[in-house]
Structure 1
């Protein structure tokens, strides 16, 4: 049975004057990137703006550092870093496509054209990878920030710190759009332009492909346990079970609530709770351990935003932050950290 979250579950609502494209939450802050280039940092408790920055030419992603002291914003023409202590903004107008950023241990890796560049929190370059075959589309840290996975056309390459050349290469002929790495670093997964998910076992490169999606796979992510991988690419959200020897020979769980999936975010913790958003403005909350493979599930709860869902981010297990395409940002409190 579906339920609807009531207005009393809303902590605050804030309006920004651009269409949001990305949300990030950490500590007591929320960061929002707008399509035209502006970005805002909000106080999680009140929704008040505590910082602003902007990129000429537009923004693609905002990424808060885990300690909530820094924000990286990436876009089609470069990247920018915001520092909480004094509001300082460092902008790198490189003219290069910068799709992604990932923080680890006070450092941030940013995609910059055909390179991934690792910066300190103030924007000073520490090292960079050699040029990839094409534009870097995503970056993810492994081994507690000691190894960097870099996605570009034809392969995912892994680099040790301060080593431009890769120490491991995971080939797959195609355009990789997004990366997901399991929390135990056992699996590296890419969502692809050719409507597939490609999976490598990191220790030996053993691989398989989950093909047959009707659309490109551009959003995917593991839950905190590393057992469940959620992905778009179809009207049904697919959730693969990576327990045991992995998903080879298995079927996914199918979560049915949207015609077009525009966002997904795992709730922190080990309970297998997932939030998803659709172009129609519906946010759905799921317990993926319900049901069985190949059977369509319905959400535990749904609620509606004022416009299509642009992004979702959990700010701890009890607060879900939503961004609608019309610029409405809202924080929703769930009454129990273990229930939906």
Structure 2
């Protein structure tokens, strides 16, 4: 039987999750709240726009309207990664070796632990960032495709082209595929293991009634779960050609509301689903068995994340409702 420890904030929860196994919530007003233990609240920004968990799980990377990129620890410590002045930091991503990528407008940057800052200009605005599973390679989603840059060395940028506005990007856990979310109510993918230029095998994943903004890979990369419909749409990626020619699974279907957040369990093929009415459900991917974890509340679920052990699930909503669900 799942139990919920609720929290209530005064504004939209941009990010909910765990930092060093402690619940953590990043709020759009600029605070990062660690509500257990000493109930620490860190004033990280004057307006928070983006957040991402460090790869080692020991800190949260945040970007703000104040042009700052910050690193917040579970002990309430806060350190500035970089200050870009008047630029709004629209997206941040954590990379290997404590590297941090961030973007504002048409430029992405990569800040390494030694303070080195590398700039990657683009012709159109950068909407999403992702690090490859191996190596210091950064993918930037933009209008008409993705640009992939190496953080070190002088290797040429690889451009993956597909017409339309690409708003997010993710690598599969094995690094063989790259998938973007699009304004055109679709996902688009490329297979990378057989290509050296920008013309790899394309994968079109369409049919969404809304924009699929939330993406999550199952732990072994067999499934890619997505929001944007009345069910969580899970595409199979176990074959050589990914989901091409295969129908996706539709999990947690509800006729009266949309799926807005998805989060795959860190070890099992189980999917946490957040809905536009505030409900949270867990569904087993194999047989679609459902377990409601939270009843509908106030506002759409805006963030959803498991802890490392897969025994707790943190959530936040657009109206400031948040909590930790213990299984």
TM-score using structure 2 length: 0.86
Residue 332 to residue 228, structure 1, CA distance change in 2 (3 Å): same
Alignment deviations for residues 50-81 of structure 1 (CA, whole Å, 9 cap, x no partner) = 3413333x323222213344322124553431
* Aligned match for 2:137, one of 144, 147, 156: 147
Helix, strand or coil for the counterpart of 2:134?
A: helix
SS of the residue 1:185 aligns to? coil
| Distance change in 2, residues 1:215/1:30 (3 Å) | same
Among 142, 150, 167, which residue is 2:157 paired with? 167
Q: For the structure 1 residues 97 and 152, does the alpha-carbon distance in structure 2 shift closer, same or farther, using more than 3 Å as the test?
A: farther
**By how many angstroms is 1:140 displaced?**
0.7
Q: Cα offset for 1:32? A: 2.3
TM-score where L is the length of structure 1:
0.83
- 2:302 is equivalent to residue 310 of structure 1: yes
1:47, 1:280 → 2: CA distance? Answer: 30
Instruction: Report if the CA contact (8 A) 1:310-1:324 is conserved.
Output: yes
**1:66 to 1:47, Cα distance in 2 relative to 1, 3 A:** farther
When structure 1 is superposed on structure 2, of 110-119 and 246-255 the one drifting more is 110-119
Q: 1:222 to 1:237 in 2, by over 3 A?
A: same
Q: Counterpart in 2 of 1:241?
A: 236
| Structure 1 Cα separation of the partners of residues 183 and 66 of structure 2 | 22
Check the 8 A contact 2:44/2:78 in 1, yes or no.
Answer: no
- Alignment partner of 2:290: what SS? coil
Aligned to 1:96: 87
Alpha-carbon contact 2:136-2:152 (below 8 Å) kept = no
Which of the residues 91, 97, 115 maps onto 1:105?
97
CA distance in 1, matches of 2:186, 2:238: 20
1:172-231 per-position Cα deviation (integer Å, ceiling 9, x unaligned): 111111112110001100010011110100132211211222222222121111110011
3-state DSSP of counterpart to 1:80: strand
Match of 2:59 in 1: 70
Query: Where does residue 325 of structure 1 map in the other structure?
Result: 318
1:59 aligns with 2:54: no
1:23 Cα deviation after fit: 2.1
Q: Secondary structure at the match of 1:162?
A: coil
Q: C-alpha distance in 2, partners of 1:14/1:200?
A: 40
CA separation of 1:163 and 1:132: change in aligned 2, threshold 3 A: farther
Alignment of 1:159-198 (within 5 A): 159-162=149-152, 166-198=156-188
Structure 2 unmatched ranges of 5 or more: none
Match of 2:207 among 204, 212, 226: 212
Residue number in structure 1 paired with 2:275: 278
Q: How many residues align?
A: 314
Shift of 1:40: 1.2
Counterpart-to-counterpart distance in 2, 1:69 and 1:94: 27
Deviation per residue, 1:279-313 (Å, 9 max, x gap): 211101111111xxxxxx56333421542322111
1:16-27 equivalence runs, <5 A? 16-27=9-20
Deviation of the 1:135 alpha carbon: 1.3
Does the CA contact (< 8 Å) of 1:20 and 1:323 recur in 2?
A: yes
Change (3 A) 1:72 1:108: same
Could you say which residue in structure 2 is the equivalent of 1:293?
none
